[in-house]
Chains A and B, each alone.
Chain A
């Protein structure tokens, strides 16, 4: 296996369909390649395909020949006050060149400082200082990649005393200042709204309609933490009814967008993920019919 071939230009430039795709996990590589299941598109975690070669890179190259792809990063640490990691950015650029994804996304978070990494998506304080800082870094990454990034809202368990903006004001401000698009994770909104006591609909209404280019749907779990219920974004369960309702609101406000079924722990069979994707597509189709 040499350097994987870049997909054809037609594949590279085709946008993702405004329907439901599935998060590609290594556990399903073989099945996807053997059966070519009826999935509209896949989203892969970029860092899992950073290597020069190996089985994962080989599988994704072959899967990319058959399906539209989105690359979703978790490690760029865009909100960090360290200099942007040039090596990570170079590897991201190589992955983008190699796999020609329709969309490239990252998170509105930080995970490192002083050269040490938490490898987790830590929330930023919602201040003007942080807004200017992270917007500048997103713009820098976009310049390096030569393309627009989609930036995803993260789920969170803490807010900071110094925050003086709402999360949706912060996210919308970052989109304006950096020129990025928004990947709206509806499960993350639901989890954070529960944990911090705000209204999900206020959040949706604070996001400019034209900025949203993708939705994420996932499952979470509820724990008792010190006598209070806390929602944890595990990506290890079906999408709950309340998040399906929120998806309906999002479709009404933003219109149909590529929508990802994300599942990262206790990964079920591909059929379970495809059933969740069909449910998302059916919900969108029903709303479309209603509007017509």
Chain B
């Protein structure tokens, strides 16, 4: 008798294996799996193909939900094909489909590394960070009254805490404009891909994504805060990369947009 583990391994191999065509149109299922099924081979193959279709369609739907702009940019047919190839190379590792697309941006970036769609990987990375930011629990707002009680001499040692949804995003292409132009139903704008990249702080505010352009100094400063460095050291790091960095103004700005939530 086939052990349960052996049966499951053979069946899953068949469901997740590559096919020449997209999974839903290919009844090709490997013989080791077919011999498990209580039906003649043609019927067993077509019935297993129903499962293959569902497995691949479920992942494609999850990816489409995470990557709506990528989906719109490439179209349904191409997206389904890429999703099929992706799941074969990077099967889901979790019973919850939310994390299934974590490697999709890197996969798309490699796939289009040297062609005119090189921006797709960056758009996908942007969408992944948005999903991450939107699933974070909202912390209590910054307590300014508590900050006022801190003696000025102690400011340098304060370790400011960033909002857990804050994500820093840098790109070669104008990803924010590409994304904004492709998540709605309106006709996408024409965008000059050579128009320069983004350097953004992504945040969740009232359950919606918000984007804030950041300077070189602010970027370095936020990185330092994220690494847990005290205020004085973070300002020093920012000034080293951007002599024009102004600490008091940056602190006011990032507290006011909710990027800094505690200390």
- Do A and B come from the same complex? yes
Which residues of A are found within 8 Å of B140, using beta-carbon distances? 2
* Interface hit among A31-39, A222-230, A252-260: A222-230
Contacting A119 at CB < 8 Å: which of B46, B58, B207? B58
A81 adjacent to chain B (CB < 8 Å):
yes
Question: Judging by beta carbons under 8 Å apart, are B37 and A158 in contact?
Answer: yes
Interface string of A26-58 (1 = CB under 8 A from B): 000000000000000000000100111111011
Question: Judging by beta carbons under 8 Å apart, are A88 and B134 in contact?
Answer: no
Question: Given A113-B8, A119-B55, A162-B2, list of 12 further CB < 8 A pairs?
Answer: A51-B135, A74-B95, A75-B97, A111-B95, A114-B9, A116-B93, A118-B92, A122-B51, A161-B36, A161-B38, A162-B36, A225-B49
CA distance in complex: A122, B58 (Å): 14
Which residues of B are found within 8 Å of A162, using beta-carbon distances? 1-2, 7, 36
Question: Judging by beta carbons under 8 Å apart, are A158 and B39 in contact?
Answer: yes
Question: Judging by beta carbons under 8 Å apart, are B137 and A3 in contact?
Answer: yes
Closest Cβ of chain B: how far from A155's Cβ, in Å?
10
Question: Judging by beta carbons under 8 Å apart, are A129 and B3 in contact?
Answer: yes
Identify the closest chain A residue to B44 (Cβ): A158
Which residues of B are found within 8 Å of A80, using beta-carbon distances? 8
Interface string of A110-128 (1 = CB under 8 A from B): 1111111111101011010
Question: Judging by beta carbons under 8 Å apart, are B95 and A230 in contact?
Answer: no
Residues of A that sit less than 8 Å from B by CB: 1-3, 47, 50-55, 57-58, 74-77, 80-81, 85, 87-88, 91, 110-120, 122, 124-125, 127, 129-130, 133, 157-163, 195, 225-226, 228, 230, 232
Question: Judging by beta carbons under 8 Å apart, are A120 and B47 in contact?
Answer: no
Among residues 52 to 93 in chain B, which have CB atoms less than 8 Å away from a CB atom of chain A? 54-55, 58-59, 62, 91-93
Contacting A117 at CB < 8 Å: which of B44, B49, B91? B91
Contacts A91-B96, A118-B12 given; does A158 touch B207 at CB 8 Å: no
Which residues of B are found within 8 Å of A127, using beta-carbon distances? 1, 4
Contacts A54-B136, A88-B96 given; does A119 touch B59 at CB 8 Å: yes
Question: Judging by beta carbons under 8 Å apart, are A158 and B59 in contact?
Answer: no
Q: List 6 A-B contacts (CB under 8 A).
A: A1-B137, A2-B137, A47-B98, A75-B95, A75-B97, A116-B16
Question: Judging by beta carbons under 8 Å apart, are B134 and A54 in contact?
Answer: yes
Contacts A85-B95, A125-B7 given; does A225 touch B46 at CB 8 Å: yes
Identify the closest chain A residue to B43 (Cβ): A226
Contacting A2 at CB < 8 Å: which of B47, B50, B135, B138? B138
B148 adjacent to chain A (CB < 8 Å):
no
Closest Cβ of chain A: how far from B247's Cβ, in Å?
30
Question: Judging by beta carbons under 8 Å apart, are A76 and B7 in contact?
Answer: no
CA distance in complex: A75, B164 (Å): 26
Question: Judging by beta carbons under 8 Å apart, are A159 and B38 in contact?
Answer: yes
Q: What total of A-B pairs shows CB separation below 8 Å?
A: 147
Question: Judging by beta carbons under 8 Å apart, are A157 and B93 in contact?
Answer: no
Closest Cβ of chain B: how far from A36's Cβ, in Å?
20
8 cross-chain pairs, A with B, having the tightest CB-CB distances, nearest first: A75-B95, A53-B137, A51-B135, A81-B5, A113-B8, A52-B137, A117-B92, A226-B46
Question: Judging by beta carbons under 8 Å apart, are B134 and A55 in contact?
Answer: yes
CA distance in complex: A234, B57 (Å): 12
Which residues of B are found within 8 Å of A53, using beta-carbon distances? 135-138
Question: Judging by beta carbons under 8 Å apart, are B5 and A113 in contact?
Answer: yes
Question: Judging by beta carbons under 8 Å apart, are A77 and B95 in contact?
Answer: yes
Question: Judging by beta carbons under 8 Å apart, are A52 and B136 in contact?
Answer: yes
Question: Judging by beta carbons under 8 Å apart, are A163 and B207 in contact?
Answer: no
Which residues of B are found within 8 Å of A74, using beta-carbon distances? 95
Identify the closest chain A residue to B9 (Cβ): A113
Interface string of B1-24 (1 = CB under 8 A from A): 111110111011001100000000
Contacts A1-B138, A122-B51 given; does A81 touch B98 at CB 8 Å: no
Closest Cβ of chain B: how far from A162's Cβ, in Å?
5
Which residues of B are found within 8 Å of A115, using beta-carbon distances? 93
CA distance in complex: A163, B44 (Å): 15
Question: Judging by beta carbons under 8 Å apart, are A47 and B91 in contact?
Answer: no
Identify the closest chain A residue to B40 (Cβ): A226
Closest Cβ of chain A: how far from B51's Cβ, in Å?
6
Which residue among B4, B16, B98 has the maximum number of chain A CB atoms within 10 Å of its CB?
Answer: B4
B238 adjacent to chain A (CB < 8 Å):
no
Identify the closest chain A residue to B11 (Cβ): A122
Which residue among A87, A110, A113 has the maximum number of chain B CB atoms within 10 Å of its CB?
Answer: A113
